[in-house]
Amino acid sequence: DAIRNQSYVKMIEMKNRDFAEKRRFLRRKCDAIRNNAQQGNAVSIDIEIGSLLEGSLDQVMRLSRLSRKEVQAQWQFSLGGEAASGEDRFTGEWFGQVMNKLCNPNYGLWRNGVKGGEGMCLHIDPWSGIHHPDHLTYF
C-alpha cells in the first residue's frame, strides 16, 4: 500500500504542473504499462466455448493462487485454445456475457424480487443448492 500511496502522491503533485510536464508523466506511465504487457506480464485466461460460465469460474478461481501484481496484469483471453481477436472488445463482451449468465434467474442462483418502490432486484435463491451442489463457489 505504501507504493500505491506514493503513486497517488505523484499524481496529486502533477495537478499543479504545466501541461507539457503532465503529458510527459502520463506518457511514462503508459509506456511502463505497455512494456509490462510486452514482456509477457499477462494472465492467460482460456475459456471453453461450450461452458462459458463454468469455464470462466474455473479460470478466475485459478487466479486466487497468483499474487496481487500478477492478477493486476493484462488478461489475455483465448477461446478453446485460440487467441481472441480484439481483446479489449472481447474482455467487455466476456464480462457482460458471464454476468448475464450468472444473474439469470433461470440458472437457479438468483430469484427475482420486487419490493415496494425499489423496482426489480435479485435475491440469492435459497434453493440454489438444489440446482448447483457447488453453488457457494459462484457467490
For residue 128, the one-letter residue type is S
Confidence of residue 1 (pLDDT cuts 50, 70, 90): very low
| Distance in angstroms (rounded) separating the CA atoms of residues 30 and 110 | 40
Q: Note the pLDDT tens digit of each residue in 12-57.
A: 777 788 888 888 888 887 777 666 555 566 777 777 777 888 888 8
Cell of 1: 500500500
| Distance in angstroms (rounded) separating the CA atoms of residues 52 and 41 | 24
- Strand, helix or coil at 110? strand
Nearest to 138 by CA among 113, 109, 112: 109
| Distance in angstroms (rounded) separating the CA atoms of residues 94 and 79 | 11
Q: What is the pTM of this model?
A: 0.54
Confidence of residue 6 (pLDDT cuts 50, 70, 90): low
